[in-house]
Structure 1
Amino acid sequence: MKLGVICDGISRDLPYAIDIMDEYDLTYAELQYVGAHEVGDHSAVEIAEIDRLLRDRGKPVSCLSRHIFAGMTSDNRPGDPLHSQHMDALKRVIEMAQIVGSPLVRIMTQRKEQILWGRHGAEQWNVARGAWDSMAPMIAPAVDLARAEGVSLVVETGNGTMVNSAYTARRLIDELDAGDALKVLWDPANACWCHELAYPDGYETLRGGYLGHVHIKDVWVDTPRAMLEIREMGKGQLGPLFAPMADALRGDGYAGVISFESVYHPGNGDFEAGFRACIETFKALFGDR
């Protein structure tokens, strides 16, 4: 399978990150922060330098991952100042994607409301009424832009975002009738926070053409105590699920990239050490067999 890494999880120094990628035979570069800037904020000269470096080093870009729409709320509306700011950023990221040859651009969704739907009284007393319905109108212009520009968007299953599970991601795509331009960036570890079982439940939800990109890390969540711990690969609650998940991806002929998300450190803030502690396990699980 196609394996890569979110480069700034190793280092925002892209040449150095590529050196480490070469050390571990990782091919696909996902870009989020490069140098001092998030993707979408680089100058034309900087983008040209990034493109030249990646092509010279044989590292195709899998996805450009800016936090589009993150931080918005259900009080925002299409065309308001914050939405317009995010749409302008999306346009810049799409322009960069066309230069560096990225097939995907990530978007997020607005801040999470805990209870979106209810029955038998909950719909009256507990649901954040209107929160879910406010989202599709804000995402629709992004889908239209992607169609016009010939790129594909992926919406991430985030920790604190309205789309925080495979279920909510698929529901959004269906409501927008946007399967041609919008897929799911599945981060099964993020979906642990809402207690969606990654495999088989989450994976089965995304079968049938919804899956566009994958982030892999391992975690341990304690939702009642509002505590999230990043764990060494294979030592968190996803540990027993990674192998059947990888087998399902192989069996289904998944053609996208699986990006290792290097956000673990061993207690000392050294994320490169965390990367080195995890990457061989990641490759053994998700690499070709």
Structure 2
Amino acid sequence: MNWHIGIISDEISQDFEHAIKVIKELGAEYVEVRNLWNKNVTQLSDSEFSEMVSIVNRYGLRISNLDSFVFKTYLNDEKGYNQHLRTLRRVIELTKKLDINFTRIFTFWYEGELKYYINKIMDRFYNAIEIAESEGVILAVENEHSCMVGNAKDLRFFLDNIKTKWIKVLWDPGNAFVARETPYPYGYELIKDEIIHVHIKDAMVRDGNFVWMPIGKGMIDYKGQLSAIKNKPYVISLETHYRNSNNDAEESTKESFAGLMKILN
């Protein structure tokens, strides 16, 4: 197997078992869990979490990682920050139950150019890194166009400043594109040695607006990007975001998955 392919379940349905069924039918081997049964995975009770795991096991799939919303809050929101640290502790606790070695994290809502905020962000990350180190779980920073670190250039700057082995990269070429970067080859080359997980979604500019597209139908060089990460040990997770004309999440994910498979084949 040259690639480890996953799908984020809520891009199909909030009905978790139905989403798992679809992922199994499509032929992906991993599920990435973010929101299910209309709540974030960190908000599940212990019994709901067990039920989630048993559904995944029943269909013979594997969980690649759990997605919290940690640090999708404002830099100066003290109450939000403390709540997010609690959420981080919870997602790490659940992550360790699954023997997974990383969890996804963000870099606070965008307020301006990163260089003006980097010291404050590093301050805010100090506690998170301390928690990660004590628990032995890596923080995978996702480049998110609505956050302070939106593309690979930002990621590189952030990593060079924060300098810790407890932070790696969740690389999202689609988000980088929307954050006005050429994801491949330019962005990827900046951070390729730090990647621990990948999100795949495609996009284009139509009439001056960014629009999500099925994989292979947008402006991102996924042929180049995917061949560059062939045989890498990490999971490539489909995070469609694209919606067809009927706004049907499941069909849109299937269409995107078909586009991904076409490129991989």
Q: Considering the TM-score relative to the shorter chain, is it more than 0.5?
A: yes
Distance 1:207 1:269 in 2: 34
* Counterpart selection for 2:6 from 4, 7, 18: 4
1:73-84 aligned at under 5 Å gives the runs 73=75, 75-76=76-77, 80-84=78-82
Helix, strand or coil at the partner of 1:171: helix
Q: Indicate the residue corresponding to 1:220 in structure 2.
A: 204
List runs of 5+ in structure 2 lacking aligned partners: none
* Counterpart selection for 1:194 from 166, 175, 179: 179
Distance 1:280 1:154 in 2: 27
Map Cα deviations across residues 186-233 of structure 1 (whole Å, 9 max, x no partner).
11111112321111111100133x1111111111247x95x3311122
1:91 CA displacement: 0.7
Helix, strand or coil at the partner of 1:207: helix
Distance 1:151 1:221 in 2: 37
Map Cα deviations across residues 231-271 of structure 1 (whole Å, 9 max, x no partner).
12211111xx1111111112xx4210000012211122111
Q: Indicate the residue corresponding to 1:273 in structure 2.
A: 251
Q: Indicate the residue corresponding to 2:192 in structure 1.
A: 207
* Counterpart selection for 1:41 from 39, 43, 59: 43
Q: Indicate the residue corresponding to 2:90 in structure 1.
A: 92
Distance 1:10 1:72 in 2: 29
Establish whether residue 107 from structure 1 lines up as the match of residue 105 from structure 2. Answer: yes
Establish whether residue 247 from structure 1 lines up as the match of residue 231 from structure 2. Answer: no
Distance 1:235 1:107 in 2: 28
Q: Indicate the residue corresponding to 2:166 in structure 1.
A: 181
* Counterpart selection for 1:229 from 202, 208, 211: 211
1:109 CA displacement: 1.1
List runs of 5+ in structure 1 lacking aligned partners: 118-128
Helix, strand or coil at the partner of 1:83: helix
Distance 2:254 2:57 in 1: 25
2:114–2:148 contact (8 Å) kept in structure 1? no
Please identify runs of 4+ aligned residues in structure 1 that moved more than 6 A.
Answer: none
Count of equivalent residues: 263
Q: TM-score, normalised by structure 2?
A: 0.93
2:114–2:149 contact (8 Å) kept in structure 1? no
Distance 1:29 1:245 in 2: 21
Helix, strand or coil at the partner of 1:184: strand
